[in-house]
Amino acid sequence: MEYCSRGDLRKLLNAPENCCGLKESQVLSVLSDVGSGIQYLHENRIIHRDLKPENIVLQDEAGKILYKIIDLGYAKDLDQGSLCTSFVGTLQYLAPELFENSSYTKTVDFWSLGTVVFECITGFRPFLHNQQPFAWHEKIKRKDPKCIFAWEEMTGEVRFSAYLPTPNSLCSTIVESVEPWLQMMLTWDPQQRGGGMDPDTNSYRCFQVMEQLLSLKIVHILNMTSAKILSYSLHPEESLHSLQVRIESDTGISLGNQELLLEMGSCLDPRKPASQCVIDGVKGWDSYMVYLFDKSKTTYEGPFASRTLSDSVNYIVKDSKIQLPVFQLRKIWAEAVHYVIGLKDDYSRLFQGQRAAMLSLLRYNTNLTNRKNNMISASQQLKAKLNFFQQSIHLDLERYSDQMTYGISSEKMLKAWKDMEEKASLCEKVADIGSLDEQIMALHTEIVELQRSLHVRRQNDVMENLEQRAIELYKQLKSRPPDHVYSDSTEMVRIIVQTVQSQDWVLKELFRHLSKLLGCKQKIIDLLPSIDVALNSIKEADNSVMQMQGKRQREIWHLLKIACTQSSTRSASSSVDGPVPSSVPAWLSQTAQANVLQPLPFVEASRNTLNFAHLLEENLSYLDSFSAVIHEARHDQNSSMLSLDWSWLD
C-alpha cells in the first residue's frame, strides 16, 4: 500500500489559516482528483459510501499535491440494478436517504462529494454545520432543490441560499461555475442528484459539468492602478486583442495604454492568443497572475480596492468589548483571521506586481545599454575614420600646393577637396554623443539606486507577525474549555486595526517606489528614439566620410593615370639631342653642376691620360641629352595638362 506523507484533508482544513476555506488552487485540485476518483469507482460499479475529509489523503509527487481516496472498507459492489440498504459511513457527510434507512444508489457519493467540496471552499459544511445530522435533517428536507447553504439566525430562524457564502477564496468566474455543480450534488432527491443520467454519454451530468469547470482557461489580472483583480474565462482561440477589449471595458484603460506583464517582467506577445496568459496545469488566482499597468501614467494615485470586512467582523470592530458566546466567536474570529491573512496576501500580490515592473525596467535597461554600446561603438569608428580622413586630406592639400609650382593644378578639384574638409568638420559634431551618454549614465545610476532600495524586498514582516498573533489567538479560543462560554474581542480587534495601519504604510511606500520605477522606464522610452536618431546620424556621417574618401582616391588615381599617360607619350616622341635647358628643376641643376664643377680627385691625378678624358666627355654628353629630354617633357606637359577636360571632377 502506498504511503502518503502529507496527512489527510481534515488536517489541512483544520489549519487556522484555512478556517474560511482553502485557496482556489487547492479547491480545484480536490475537485479534480477526488471527483475523478469517485467517477472511476462508479465506472467500476463501486460505491465508496464513506467519503469524508479523513478518507482523502495528500501525496507530494514531483512538487504537486495529489488528493487520493482511501479506506474502501465500506465500499460496496453493485450488481446490475441493485439498491443498497445497509447503513454505514460518517453521519455528517451521509446522504439524506441513509438517515431514512431507504434504498440508495451511487448518488450517495455525490452528496458526500458535494459536502466535502463545499467545506473546502468555505471552511464548514453546507447545512447547519453546528448541529448534529439528526437535528437538521427535518429542517433541511424541505429546502429548494437549488439551495446549497443553510444557516440559523440568532432568532432561531433557518435561512437558505442558492449561493456560496462569503468570505471564500474563489474568484467570481469559478464561483459562477461551481455553484450550479454544487446544486446538482446537494439536491435532496436522490433521483435528481448529480443532474441525472445523460442518455448520449450514459454518465451523470455532474461529471460533464465538472470537466467543463476544470477545463476552463481563466486568466487572472491584477490591475496595478486600482489593486483590483479581474478574472476572465477565455474563449477557444481568443486573441489577445479581444481580451484587451474586455479589459478596456472593465477598467477604462485604453487598449493602446495597456501593458500586460507576466511575473518575470516580460510583455505579452500580441501575435499569440490570449491563452499565453495561462500556464498549463496551473490553476487558481493564488498560483499565477498577470499584471496590468497604464502606460499613460507613472504615478498611480488610486482609488485602490480595499478588502471589505464581513458583517460579523465589522460588528466586533465597532464594539470590541461586547461579550459573545464562544461558539459564535469561533466563526467571527475565523473570518477575522481570514481578513488579516487577506490583507497580507493583497500586499504580497501588489509586491509581485512591483517586482514584475522592476524586472520589466531591467529588460528595458538592458535594451538601452545595448543600444548605447552600439551608438558608442559607431561613434568611435566614425571618429577614427574622420581622424584618418582629415589627416589624409590635409596632407593631400599640402602636397597639392607644392606641386602647383610645376604647373599641374585644378581649381575644381581643389574646391572639392576643401568642401570635403568642411563636411568632415561637420561630421565631428555628429560623432559627439557626450550629452546623450551623460543622460544614459545618470539614468543607469538611478536604476542601480532603485535596485538597492529596501523596497525591492518585501516589507510585510509586521503583517506576518500580526497574522501569527491572530492565528494564535484563534487557536486559544478553539481550545477554551466549555465553562468559558462568553468572551470579548478586544485583542483580535487590536490586531485587525494594526494590520490595516501596517498595510496602509507598506502600500504607500510600495506605490511610491513603483512610481520611481515607472518614471525610469518612461525616461528609457523617451531616450530610445534619441539614441536611434543619433545612431542613424552617425551611420549617415560614416557613409558620407567613406564616400568622400573613395571619391578623393578615385580623383588622385585618375589624375595620376592621365599624368603618366602624357609623360609616356611625350617621352617616346621627344629627341634626346637637345641642349640642356636653362629652366630645369633645382635638384637636376644642382646635380649637373656638381657633376661638371666638382671633378673627382683621381681625375686630377690622371689629367694627361687620354682614355679618361674621352670617358669624361662622353659622360657630359649623356648628361646634356638627359637634361634636354626632361625639359621638353616638362614643357609639353605644362601646355597639355591645362587643356585637358577636368569636368569629371564636378
Instruction: Look at 185 and 613; give whichever has higher pLDDT.
Output: 185
In this prediction, residue 416 carries a pLDDT of 81
Q: 532-578: per-residue pLDDT in tens?
A: 998 898 898 888 888 888 888 887 787 777 777 766 776 666 544 44
For residue 369, is it left (φ>0), alpha (ψ between -120 and 50) or beta?
A: alpha
* Residue 84 DSSP symbol: B
**Signed CA dihedral, 22, 28, 31, 33: sign only:** negative
Q: How far apart are CA 614 and CA 212, in angstroms?
A: 124
In this prediction, residue 607 carries a pLDDT of 42
DSSP string, 384-399: HHHHHHHHHHHHHHHH
In this prediction, residue 592 carries a pLDDT of 36
Contact indicator for 221, 291 with CB cutoff of 8 Å:
yes
What is the model's pTM?
Answer: 0.79
pLDDT of residue 431 exceeding 90, the answer is: no
Maximum pairwise Cα distance, the chain: 162
Q: How far apart are CA 572 and CA 551, in angstroms?
A: 32
In this prediction, residue 482 carries a pLDDT of 61
Determine if the peptide bond prior to 96 is cis (ω within 30°).
Answer: no
Buried b / exposed e along 305-343 (16+ C-beta atoms within 10 A): eeeebbebbeebbeebeeebebeebbbbbbbbbbbbbbb
Q: 17-56: per-residue pLDDT in tens?
A: 999 999 999 999 999 999 999 999 999 989 888 899 999 9
In this prediction, residue 30 carries a pLDDT of 96
Q: Which residues make Cβ contacts (< 8 Å) with residue 607, sequence separation at least 6?
A: 613
Name the residue among 87, 88, 52, 84 with its Cα closest to residue 70. Answer: 52
Q: 258-282: per-residue pLDDT in tens?
A: 999 999 999 999 999 999 998 887 8
Q: How confident is the model at residue 241 (pLDDT cuts 50, 70, 90)?
A: very high
Q: How far apart are CA 640 and CA 650, in angstroms?
A: 20
Q: How far apart are CA 287 and CA 480, in angstroms?
A: 35
**Signed CA dihedral, 319, 320, 322, 326: sign only:** positive
In this prediction, residue 39 carries a pLDDT of 94
Contact indicator for 68, 33 with CB cutoff of 8 Å:
yes
Name the residue among 363, 360, 366, 122 with its Cα closest to residue 263. Answer: 360
Which three three-digit cell numbers place residue 489? 474581542
**Signed CA dihedral, 274, 277, 278, 280: sign only:** positive
How long is the chain? 650
How many angstroms separate the Cα of 545 from the Cα of each of 381, 424, 537, 540, 542?
Answer: 11, 7, 12, 9, 5
* Residue 323 DSSP symbol: -
In this prediction, residue 646 carries a pLDDT of 47
Backbone angles phi, psi at 99, to 5 degrees: -70, -30
Which three three-digit cell numbers place residue 144? 429548494
Task: Determine whether 50 is an active site residue.
Answer: yes
In this prediction, residue 352 carries a pLDDT of 94
Name the residue among 310, 312, 303 with its Cα closest to residue 339. Answer: 310
Which of 8, 50, 294, 542 is labelled catalytic? 50
Q: 401-412: per-residue pLDDT in tens?
A: 776 666 566 777
Backbone angles phi, psi at 201, to 5 degrees: -105, -10
Q: How confident is the model at residue 598 (pLDDT cuts 50, 70, 90)?
A: very low
Buried b / exposed e along 175-200 (16+ C-beta atoms within 10 A): bebbbbbbbbbbbbebeebbbeeeee
Mean pLDDT over the full length of the chain = 82
In this structure, the strands spanning 290-294 and 258-261 are: antiparallel
pLDDT of residue 584 exceeding 80, the answer is: no
